[in-house]
Amino acid sequence: MLKTRKKNSAAPSFLIRTLSLTPEDLQTLDRIAQEASDYIGWTVSGSAIMRGLLRHADQQGRGWIREQLAPLIEDEMQRGTVWGKKK
């Protein structure tokens, strides 16, 4: 007899957002997705990768975000990939 997994009734709702990537960024995302898929044994989407990265960053705390992540974001913005305006 086959066992079926119970559907999680408390599954989160999802909001659709647009993500702009360079061709190089897309290659990196595809490589990470393939490596994660190979490890997990399931197809991994770019959305799952981004959610995982966001949760990881959130768990690290404000100090990590300021010391480790913010400089990378600043570097990205200085490359000219900026949407919006400076505060």
pLDDT attached to residue 61: 92
Give the model confidence (pLDDT) of 15-70 as tens digits: 888 888 889 999 999 999 999 999 999 999 999 999 999 999 999 999 999 999 99
Give the model confidence (pLDDT) of 68-83 as tens digits: 999 999 998 888 766 6
Q: How far apart are CA 73 and CA 65, in angstroms?
A: 10
